[in-house]
A and B are shown apart, each in its own frame.
Chain A
């Protein structure tokens, strides 16, 4: 089941272009993400995946085009980072001076109380803090870290740190959560465990959809592992500078754009995909997205109508 049947966008990128001096990075990029989708963003290194992610995050707005995200119930310009977009980096997501529990509770504290409240209303803040910590503890339990909540990040393994980082972002229930190669530094077994964890959140989306509610988690995951993209994502988006820009009247490469956009197979968390079965998908992606020799029209493999 693909969770894109509704018309509610969590993210709209409209004609996004970006460049650093002479270096063209992104060109006329259009991408709409529905609430509840798990988008796997793939592409050759240097194609601007991180640039796009930073643009969506709002720390580095694009030079041209618009990025709209859902803010307080309506689509608005994402020109600065805000609580409606969560982010998990490969590292530096956690604050070393806070325990796992307080790292997860931090967002609730920032979002729901003010400095003045915390300084002036000690009793009220004490009560709130207990409540936030209870919620954070419940969330950590859910991601299998009930035992580790009083550890500092430096005392945790890389996999545990990324679990906490994901919990830290998800507890905020952002409209969209961006994962920038979150498992890049982890070993294969740990990666798979964390993929399962993400798929469990996808299950919650399905349940919410089944009851006619808004799915709680929308996600863009950047990865260089095709199998990871296929397993976690329900939609594969390939960003590449290798497309037939000459046909569009450019005399030099204008930058990367979306050249591949197709639904991906969906798996249950406990399901171990047989990656052999997806050789076709991988071959197609390698041709269309990664191969500099094969230049095709930019919309040739874009099967989801971007402006629907």
Chain B
């Protein structure tokens, strides 16, 4: 009797559990339910786009139950922290934002997870995600690794990140000052440099174009903005240095002229000081990333609201705009990859892109940029679309060795030039040998020509 009673109890309990299981199963209709209560840690830069984007996180947590902890770091310091974190057997970060120029290095070291396994999982991939809608150049520059030259799209490329805070270059100018002196937005570099000289003559406390210029990455980036418009390149097709050749030197000479007619102290300017010089009214022109557009409108940092207009990045021998900014990917050593993917997908969805745009972040999707309602609110969107026609994913060689070459060699040589210690020719020729040595050691010349 006793045994039978026990059996009955066991069976009843089993049935109850089964039923519970089934009801729970049907409750999992929400793809997020399984991960509710999970806390993921994300590493974001201190940057206008991310300031806007983080405002959306409470909404994400409310909708999904996934909690998000944000570790905000100065953007050039993220690489140190991420390299250390992601190389551990088990890291602290479940999602990282990185500057596009680090992607190949990260992937070559096996630090990022390929995204295909998530996009092939119907329980995780949102059918309405529409990755086609991302600005193609942004998706390529932030996420694709392993294609042509290792960092460009191509048959062998795979996706490791999606654009989040990606950007292209835009030319911004003080319309009020231009109108005052009857100046038109420059179409070429010559015109731009001429305007810079005119401003120095006619406006006593104003300067031409603001620019980055601090030794290392910043001054290297400043030169690279002008490099491809002048037809220059860092390496030729055989990975031989080409930064000492004429087109590249022309770009450097243009930078030298920009420094001479620009606000004082460019040789110390990081991104922050470069932007401040424009927002506080010292410089009348700006030629850098699109993130400036929302900053111009922000009264707490800008004195030039309503006085700025946008145009195409001028050309020297051709139009060629930078493509860069940030992408977000999932570290290979994260233990909460699925929840991180869901967060990534939610934050980069069409709806979120619009919301972030309204909060002051620059869009990553074509549908947002083309949205007529938003275009009325944000007059720079058509200008960005125009610039994107010439967006160049190959304006700098994002090989694994690039951060070292850019920060330690180009960034030193170019700084020697802009501070007057060396001529452009000597500065660039002096680093040919050491850069070639790095390339040789990495194996770029081992396949011959």
Q: Are A and B subunits of one complex?
A: no
Interface residues of B (CB under 8 A from A): none
